[in-house]
Amino acid sequence: EERRTEQIKSKMKRTPAKPQEHATSILSSEQPSNKEEEPKHQKQQPNHTKNSQQRQDNQKEDKQLVRYNNIKKKTTTYKQQQRRKLNKKTEKRQRDKPKQEKQEQPLTK
């Protein structure tokens, strides 16, 4: 038993482990070598779930940002459209004025 504990302690000293991993390293030392690979995969799973959770959160944020930006864009484009309409009207008036004058000139001649 003392030898086992010494071996376990030496293994823990070799690999800097998180508190969760201590239990798995103790279990793996008592099990045969074939089953040692399984706890490694189990260690990785929480990491994957964290990553996927982060990805989902990021996607949600992105969607919200996109919505916000789209709303912003729509409002600006609406304002721009209104400006453009006004500009077009004024431009047409300005264009039409000289045309009308030109049309009137030949009539007077």
Per-domain boundaries in the chain: 31-108
Q: How many CB atoms lie within 10 A of CB 27?
A: 13
- Residues 58 and 50 sit within 8 Å (Cβ to Cβ): no
Residues found in the chain: 109
pTM value is 0.24
Q: What is the pLDDT of residues 54-99, one digit of tens each?
A: 888 888 888 877 777 766 666 667 888 889 899 998 988 888 776 6
Q: What is the pLDDT of residues 35-45, one digit of tens each?
A: 444 455 555 55
